[in-house]
Amino acid sequence: MNAPLRSPVKFDIQALIKVIKQSESSDAFTPHLTPQQWDLLAGYLQPFALTQGQKLIEQGALDRTLYLVEAGTLSVHYEDDKGRVRLAMVEPGSAVGEGAFFSRLPRNATVQAATAAKIWCLTPIRFTELTNRQPAVALEVAMGLGSLVSRRLMNKPRRVAVT
Ligand SMILES: Nc1ncnc2c1ncn2[C@@H]1O[C@@H]2COP(=O)(O)O[C@H]2[C@H]1O
């Protein structure tokens, strides 16, 4: 008998919206978007499934894609001269990649899936398109990310690699 095929991971933008709205974490991504604006933003996001251990972001890489976490846990590591330092665990309802997104510098840490995860990507090209076509939505995404950066900077144990 053939081995059963692994069922493809199903994605629904409503699950991401729900987890973001319900998150009470100080590390949550909290844009103030109406349901209609969420629908518009959804058209610019691309879903992606990560297997446990899979690398999402490599420290030093030149890329500015932003990732919103729907499910699973991501771990953030920073490699200094003396070795590897674990910075943070990032939970559903939060985001990663905002460092290079804003700074245009190389990625400041490595991010990988601590568990299987579901994420949504917003590439810089799609963000530029969103800015041109839906500026109010793009501004609110940027404000939500700015808020997240500020909160991460205030969190002293975590802030070592936040740009
Ligand atoms: N202290 C931290 N807490 C949570 N996430 C972090 C922390 N430091 C770095 N990161 C994330 O790790 C990412 C590495 O790539 P970026 O620099 O683009 O953006 C960074 C943040 O999203």
Contact call for residues 117 and 71 (beta carbons, < 8 A):
yes
Closest ligand 1 atom, CA of 87?
1
Euclidean distance between CA atoms 9 and 49, whole angstroms: 7
In this prediction, residue 113 carries a pLDDT of 98
> What pTM value is reported for the model?
0.91
What band does 81 get if pLDDT is binned at 50, 70 and 90? confident
Helix, strand, or coil (residue 105): coil
To test the pocket of ligand 1, the residue of 25, 103, 111, 121 to mutate (highest count of ligand atoms within 8 Å of its CB) is: 111
Q: Write out the two tokens for 11.
A: 């994605």
Q: Which of 55, 62, 76, 98 to mutate to test the pocket of ligand 1 (most atoms within 8 A of CB)?
A: 76
Domain boundaries, the chain: 25-155
* Ligand 1 nearest atom to the CA of residue 155, by list position: 1
Say how far apart CA 5 and CA 158 lie, in whole Å: 40
Q: How far from 24 is each of 1, 85, 144, CA to CA, in Å?
A: 47, 26, 14
Mind listing the pLDDT tens digit for each residue in 2-24?
Answer: 555 555 788 899 999 999 999 99
Q: Give the residue from 3, 33, 20 showing the smallest Cα distance to 118.
A: 20
What letter would DSSP give residue 108?
S
Taking alpha carbons only, the member of 10, 11, 34, 9 closest to residue 21 is 34
β-pair type (46-50, 117-122)? antiparallel
- Assign a CATH topology to domain 25-155: Jelly Rolls (2.60.120)
For 51-60, 68-77, 83-92, which range has the lowest pLDDT when averaged over its residues? 83-92
pLDDT grade for 156, boundaries at 50, 70 and 90 = low
Give start and end residues of each alpha helix (H) in 71-123.
98-103
Q: Is the pLDDT of residue 135 over 70?
A: yes
Band of pLDDT at residue 86, cut at 50, 70 and 90: confident
Q: ipTM strictly over 0.95?
A: yes
Mean pLDDT of the chain: 91
Q: How far is the CA of 72 from the centre of ligand 1 (A)?
A: 16
